[in-house]
Chain A
Amino acid sequence: MEIISIKPLLAVLISLICALLIVLSRKNKNIRESWTILTSVTKFVIVASMVPTILRGDTIAYTLMSILPGIPFEFRVDAFGLLFGVLASFLWILTSLYSIGYMRSLKEHAQTRYFACFAIAISATMGIAFAANLLTLFIFYEILTLSVYPLVIHKETPEAKSGGRKYLIYTLSGGVVLLLAIILTYSFAGSLEFMNHGFLAGHASPEMLQMLFVLFIIGFGVKSAVMPLHSWLPTAMVAPTPVSALLHAVAVVKAGIFGVVRVIYFVFGVDLVSELDMGIALAYFVSFTIIVASMFALAQDNLKRRLAYSTISQLSYIILGAALLTPSGLTGGILHIAHHAFMKITLFFCAGAIYVVTHKKNISEMNGIGRSMPITMAAFSICAIGLIGVPPVCGFLSKWYLSMGAIEANEVFFVFVLLVSSLLNAAYFLPIVFNAFFKEPDDKSSVGEAPPFILIPLTITAIISIILCIVPETLNPFLQIVKEVVENIGWKI
């Protein structure tokens, strides 16, 4: 059943209004930051209040106006969109707290611009999550691209500026390819509305549809950092750490992933994609990224860059899961959107905490850091283990489902890919943990933990990463929502 409600629109608008309030109260930074906190909490409450409705099997829709003939500016919250919405809005609260601690500790300049752009970016992320059709999604996708640009070049150094340019070239090019794909879709089908079983079947010749599929994957693939379209992401690590944490591990990159899954399951539909033989082809394509990005990660000494390459690899897990076109594969993929978000944001938070306290960016300088920052490094270790896929951290759960999915699809090769990648993850994460706890510090000057604004968020996300694995299935909100997604598509798990 479709329920008409203004909630999705509110969830998008509230942080846009927040951006305005931030700019208006730029003179008093306490008032300015309280707007951020206030709206992030309100936003989460709005989004979370939609969960029971969606779990009942209903959808929530709101049409604002017509953009073009046959394309309304419309929001429709289904289980998949809600998962992304809940995730991003929840992590925004923690990131806001963290940002305040981080930006104030480092006495960063242009904080008003920073917080305002952050709010716009989150607003756009909600728009992407709740968009009912491709054009609505695309509008927010482009707004997201642009609102993140000032955050990437926040430092205004030549390095930041060139990183920003690279970011823009990649993402705008991706946007253009995506737009071509959307226009073609509209030209074929006369509609852009997401459907549970896709809407493109029978509207064009198979070769045309295959080409269209490839265009979509290239378009969304830039933000999903699929190799060889990935190289903006490590460069964008020049941004302040909270930006890397929320946007380059959760919102921006997952917006690309979100688009890929939307296209596979809600534009083309499972049957059409498997008819076109594009699912397994895509799975093989991203397997390359999974392995090679992990190898690149091994070679990085800058902690944030290593995390960035790890992100590139992990993002392709999600696409792999979706591309397998099996219930467990999809479950694993979507679950990994949430699980990877919690684990990776923790790792970035830790990297930022180390930077705030010690101003160290490189792994080789971090020997013995676990002794002076035990909580931070404990959180780091938990999530590093989780990304390797060891229980009882949630990364295990998604890898389990992904492997199941590969077996269901009769493609044991991908189980092998996941295993190799786990080994590589271990190879680039465990030395950091080992050196932090067991090596002697280089300088004896004892530094403490980061300020509470920084420490508390990263502790929370680390704990959640464990809880998501050990909690019984019925109490795990993400697993419940994912089940709803899979049922909507017409599968049972």
Chain B
Amino acid sequence: MIQNFPILVVILPLITAFLIPLIGWWRKKYCLYISILSILSVFIISIYLLNSVMASGVVRYDLGGWEPPYGIEYVVDLLSIFMIILIAFISLVIAIYSKKSVEKELSDNIVAFYTLFMLLIAGLLGIVITGDLFNLYVFLEISSLTAYALIAVGEKRDALLASFNYLIIGTIAACFILLGIGFLYMVTGSLNIADLSAKLPEAYSLYPRVVLAAMIFFVVGLSIKMALFPLHTWLPNAYTHAPSVVSALIAALMTKVGAYMMIRIMFTVFGIHFVTEVIPVTSILSWVAAIAIIVGSINAIAQTDIKRMLAYSSVSQIGYIVLGIGLANSIGLTGGILHIINHAFMKGCLFLAVGAVIYQTGIRDIRDFQGIGKKMPYTMAAFSIAALSMVGVPPLCGFFSKWFLALGSIESGKWIFAVIILLSSLLNAGYFFRVLEKVWFGESPHEGVDEAPKSMLVPILILAAGCILLGIFVFIQSSFIKSIANTLL
């Protein structure tokens, strides 16, 4: 049993996804409970896996007993287990939150929603655990297709358009990634990541252009998947029109898994020497990221719809993560990976809190948020904590992402990035304080609005507490992440 834990991480949610229609046929409300149960088991398994990775190094699992490089291999290393725990935890919290929200927004489609929800999580978990490039592509498609569907179930017709837009762009991205994988397979004859990266230097000396083309396909495809400026155009509409739960889920997790793939492809497949010296793709990425940080923030300031504002804020925050990847030194990459978890908590909390406000009042325009803090004090307190963390107020977690990224920029002699990171925290302050001022000061025109129901409030508060704890105990996670960064570089 225990040696099968790596496969269970993927199989459990996958089987649950197929069970849900059957159970939903019998009792609709059990769909939620079985989803929660399944994610909770994954979470417990992942804690166990963390222990064994910490104790005895990388855990490998051969699917069906076929040995790599011929069979598919699952590899749980520090980075994978970090992502698995993050995905399991955040999706667990969001699943608890989803009860009321889904009952209201998607009352006809509860069964379909949870089926897709579990498929999406299975896809995300698959991406981060697999050690095989083609398998990674399969899971990427599973998660993308479910995400298109989940966005399309949003209330308004705009959601359909947003989803269709995302589908077209996302499919192009998937094609690019597939081409990249195909090219690498052509020159190395392998799909296993470890095997492939060992054969790559030789392949590059024989077929430099093919490897180069593969690299470019990967960079562009993954940039689209993680909505890196200027390939971010699908994101604002998708986040704005998706149901609240879905916005939170894809904002907190999907782009992060994109970042994970970027890190994997860059540092594990191609290797640090290749991406920094042979082709300086990292320095290009860091400049693009710097522009993304600024452009995303400025766009966010211009929005009146709060979900759209958060969406543009995500464009900017993805820039932080990519900047960390682009710096390609130990401290910078630590900052980038740190921001994966920090941003997941912050943005998750913000989207859930906004979802609760929409659930209670239906308002989405920032100008209507006047005095809502007096009516929904706990929800908005959590929102404020996450917002302040995004601004980078110490000792909240967002501050430390900035700290590491700025320090990493200075270590690599690129001061301009440190200045941009710090400048962007002022821009963040610009758009968040605009909301906070409305929320807390002034009379509320909202009569009879109450605090969100407990099943929504508790997840929001958990994530807000996470923003505080991840900041206060940053020493623990940053030293863990630093060891991840050092294994990659």
Q: Say yes or no: is B433 at the interface (Cβ < 8 Å to chain A).
A: yes
Q: Say yes or no: is B437 at the interface (Cβ < 8 Å to chain A).
A: yes
Q: A146-B393, A176-B425 are in contact. Are A183 and B407 (CB under 8 A)?
A: yes
- Measured CA separation A68–B419 after assembly (Å): 21
**What is the distance, in angstroms, from A131's C-beta to the closest C-beta of chain B?**
12
Cβ of A139 and Cβ of B394 under 8 Å apart?
yes
Cβ of A176 and Cβ of B426 under 8 Å apart?
yes
Return the contact of A168 from the options B410, B425, B433, B474 (Cβ within 8 A). B433
CB-defined contacts of B422 to chain A, threshold 8 Å:
176-177, 179-180
Cβ of B475 and Cβ of A183 under 8 Å apart?
no
**What is the distance, in angstroms, from A228's C-beta to the closest C-beta of chain B?**
18
Tally the A-B contacts, defined by beta carbons under 8 Å. Answer: 63
- Measured CA separation A186–B406 after assembly (Å): 11
**What is the distance, in angstroms, from A143's C-beta to the closest C-beta of chain B?**
8
Cβ of A153 and Cβ of B418 under 8 Å apart?
no
Return the contact of A180 from the options B388, B394, B406 (Cβ within 8 A). B406
CB-defined contacts of A360 to chain B, threshold 8 Å:
none
**What is the distance, in angstroms, from B119's C-beta to the closest C-beta of chain A?**
40
Q: Say yes or no: is B411 at the interface (Cβ < 8 Å to chain A).
A: yes
Q: Which residue of A lies closest to B443 (CB)?
A: A156
Q: Say yes or no: is B302 at the interface (Cβ < 8 Å to chain A).
A: no
Q: Say yes or no: is B279 at the interface (Cβ < 8 Å to chain A).
A: no
Q: A68-B475, A176-B422, A180-B418 are in contact. Are A187 and B394 (CB under 8 A)?
A: no
Against A, the Cβ 8 Å flags (1 = close, 0 = not) of B377-410 are 0000000000010010111000010110011001
Cβ of A183 and Cβ of B406 under 8 Å apart?
yes
Q: Which residue of A lies closest to B441 (CB)?
A: A156
**What is the distance, in angstroms, from A238's C-beta to the closest C-beta of chain B?**
13
Interface residues on B, range: 20 to 34
Against A, the Cβ 8 Å flags (1 = close, 0 = not) of B409-436 are 0110000001100110110010001000
For window 168-192 of chain A, which residues contact chain B by CB distance below 8 Å?
A: 168, 172-173, 176-177, 179-180, 183-184, 186-187
Against B, the Cβ 8 Å flags (1 = close, 0 = not) of A56-67 are 000000000111
CB-defined contacts of B425 to chain A, threshold 8 Å:
172, 176
Return the contact of A153 from the options B400, B437, B474, B475 (Cβ within 8 A). B437
**What is the distance, in angstroms, from A110's C-beta to the closest C-beta of chain B?**
9
Return the contact of B475 from the options A66, A135, A139, A187 (Cβ within 8 A). A66
Q: A68-B478, A146-B393, A183-B403 are in contact. Are A176 and B437 (CB under 8 A)?
A: no
Q: Say yes or no: is A164 at the interface (Cβ < 8 Å to chain B).
A: yes
CB-defined contacts of B395 to chain A, threshold 8 Å:
67, 139
Cβ of A68 and Cβ of B403 under 8 Å apart?
yes
Q: Say yes or no: is A150 at the interface (Cβ < 8 Å to chain B).
A: yes
Q: Say yes or no: is A400 at the interface (Cβ < 8 Å to chain B).
A: no
Q: Say yes or no: is A7 at the interface (Cβ < 8 Å to chain B).
A: no
CB-defined contacts of A65 to chain B, threshold 8 Å:
475
CB-defined contacts of A172 to chain B, threshold 8 Å:
391, 425-426, 429
Cβ of B388 and Cβ of A146 under 8 Å apart?
yes
Counting chain A CB atoms within 10 Å of each CB, the highest count among B407, B433, B441 belongs to B441
Cβ of B418 and Cβ of A183 under 8 Å apart?
yes
Against B, the Cβ 8 Å flags (1 = close, 0 = not) of A121-149 are 00000000000000100110011001000
- Measured CA separation A156–B444 after assembly (Å): 13
- Measured CA separation A135–B395 after assembly (Å): 10
- Measured CA separation A69–B410 after assembly (Å): 17
Cβ of B388 and Cβ of A183 under 8 Å apart?
no
Q: Which residue of A lies closest to B434 (CB)?
A: A165
CB-defined contacts of B391 to chain A, threshold 8 Å:
172
Question: Can you identify 22 A-B contacts, CB atoms within 8 angstroms?
Answer: A65-B475, A68-B403, A68-B474, A69-B475, A142-B393, A143-B394, A150-B440, A153-B437, A164-B437, A165-B433, A165-B437, A168-B433, A172-B391, A172-B425, A176-B426, A179-B403, A179-B406, A179-B422, A180-B406, A183-B406, A187-B407, A187-B411
**Contact surface of A with B, Cβ cutoff 8 Å:** 65-69, 135, 138-139, 142-143, 146, 150, 153, 156, 161, 164-165, 168, 172-173, 176-177, 179-180, 183-184, 186-187
Task: List 6 additional A-B contacts (Cβ < 8 Å) besides A139-B395, A142-B393.
Answer: A142-B394, A143-B394, A146-B388, A176-B425, A176-B426, A179-B406
